[in-house]
Structure 1
Amino acid sequence: MSRAKNRGTGTRAGTRASPSVRTDPLLAAHTIALIGLMGVGKSTVGRRLARRIGLPFFDADSEIEAAAGLSVADIFAAYGEAEFRAGEARVIRRLVEGPPHVLATGGGAVLNPETLALLRERTIMVWLKADLEVVSGRVARRDTRPLLRGRDPLETLRQMAQARYPIYEQAHVTVETGQGTHQEAVEAIIEAVLAHLNDRTDKDRPEKNRPTRP
């Protein structure tokens, strides 16, 4: 089951959500940026989320590959991680400065302070978080991730988590995906993002215009 947290409040998504498009002015007005470690499902869940709320979907790694004419693995091999991160930052800025959409970022994108600041300012950042053992089992089945080649997946993920979790914690919303379905993760994201946006709207509203709650 997926669990969503917004400012420390835990919520749980239902398991029988309709797959139809959910049109909501608040959702449609914002870019939703998914962050988190490799293998947590950012791209898969992001595509489903985009269809669910009627927004375009972009995968940062795919956009980088299209711009460079090379795969991520080939960029790492030919130019190194530093050059990849520079291109990643340029691509994410271009996307974020465009119309609202759902964006799946690379796991290390927010290590760039400028990218982190941009995403915090211009998007709703959602940290997809899952148990490292679960993630390790997923990524071990693929040999396309440069940072895992020749290394123990679980130990590498633990090292990444130690370095990156303090940065991921700056997201506006955290969704714990666990071993739930992708659709459960989508519904949890929608619930948590709407709660965050409504909370922000209430805080921005003048005190005298806020509705009286029983």
Structure 2
Amino acid sequence: MTFDLKKTVVLVGMMGAGKTAVGRAVAAKLGVPFIDSDAEIVKAANMSIAEIFERDGEPFFRRKETQIIERLLEEERCILSTGGGAFLSEANRAMIAAKGVAVWLDADVELLWTRVRHKDTRPLLRTSDPRRTLEEIFEARVPLYSLAELPVPAEAGLSIEQMADRVIGVMASRDDVLTES
């Protein structure tokens, strides 16, 4: 079975939701490119996300993120993984809706915490109480993530492949996103 991707699918959601891992698997199953907007930012800046936050601040990072996402939406159709904060911007949400489709990987705080608690690559969690910080970020962001056109519930027991299949199933429910060819 082969598929025809009609528009770029932009994966949104919290840090640890699986946007990169699931995105890679979805792209591989569909035979389309996978692009990670954070990786593109790192490549363009020649420094890590944490270094960008530290040197230039979050507002600078967010401006660069918008520029990169806009460029990527103009290029070939792909599976595009975004950073956890990308979908918070009204401008980004409008741009994604106009040129692609947002798929929200909807994971609860418990699942997210199990995935991010041992990583030091999350600048927003470099606080005295990272669990509480994660909960606060979650509470603030979920209302915005819920604006995504295609929500896909994530569960602790699902493998990356199973989650990718779930995402593809949701994508295929929309003829303007994915069709079998």
TM above 0.5: yes
Aligned amino acid, residue 60 of structure 2: E
Give TM-score, length-normalised by structure 2.
0.93
Counterpart of 2:3 in structure 1 is 24
Kept after mapping to 2: 8 A contact 1:139/1:153: no
Larger Rg: 1
Equivalent residue number for residue 108 of structure 1: 85
Residue 40 (structure 2) aligns with: 63
1:82: Cα distance to partner? Answer: 0.4
How big is the alpha-carbon RMSD for the aligned residues of Structure 1 and Structure 2? 1.8
Match of 1:14 in 2: none
The reply to whether residue 41 of structure 1 matches residue 51 of structure 2 is no
2:178 equivalent to 1:194: no
Q: Which amino acid in 1 is paired with 2:124?
A: L
Task: Could you tell me which runs of 5 or more consecutive residues in structure 2 were left unpaired when the two chains were aligned.
Answer: none
Q: 1:136, 1:153 within 8 Å by CA — same for their partners in 2?
A: no
Please give the secondary structure, in 2, of the residue aligned with 1:133: helix
- Note if contact 2:88-2:145 (Cα within 8 Å) is conserved in structure 1: no
1:132 to 97, 109, 122: 109
Whole-Å Cα distance in 1 between the matches of residues 174 and 141 of structure 2? 23
Q: What is the CA–CA distance in structure 2 between the aligned matches of 1:197 and 1:174, rounded to whole Å? A: 16
Write the letter of the residue equivalent to 1:101. Answer: C
Equivalent residue letter for 1:73: A
2:12 and 2:82 in contact (8 A); partners too: yes
Q: 1:56 to 1:151 in 2, by over 3 A?
A: farther
CA contact (8 A) 1:136 1:154 kept: yes
Aligned length: 178
Whether contact under 8 Å (1:124, 1:193) holds in the other structure is no
Q: Output the amino acid matched with 2:31.
A: G
CA drift at 1:198: 6.4
1:39-65 deviation digits (Å, cap 9, x = unpaired): 011001101110000110100110000
* Aligned residues of 1:73 and 1:145 also touching (Cα < 8 A): yes
| Structure 1 stretches lacking a partner, 5+ long | 1-21, 202-214
Identity of aligned pairs, percent?
39
Q: 1:83 to 1:56 in 2, by over 3 A?
A: same
Whether 2:31 is the aligned partner of 1:54: answer yes
**Residue 212 (structure 1) aligns with:** none
Shift of 1:108: 0.4
Q: Residue in 2 aligned with 1:3?
A: none
* Matched ranges for 1:1-214 at <5 A: 22-25=1-4, 28-179=5-156, 180-197=158-175
Residue type of the alignment partner of 1:190: I
Letter in 1 for 2:38: D
Any runs of at least 4 consecutive aligned residues in structure 1 with deviations exceeding 6 A, and if so which? none
**Match in the other structure for 1:17:** none
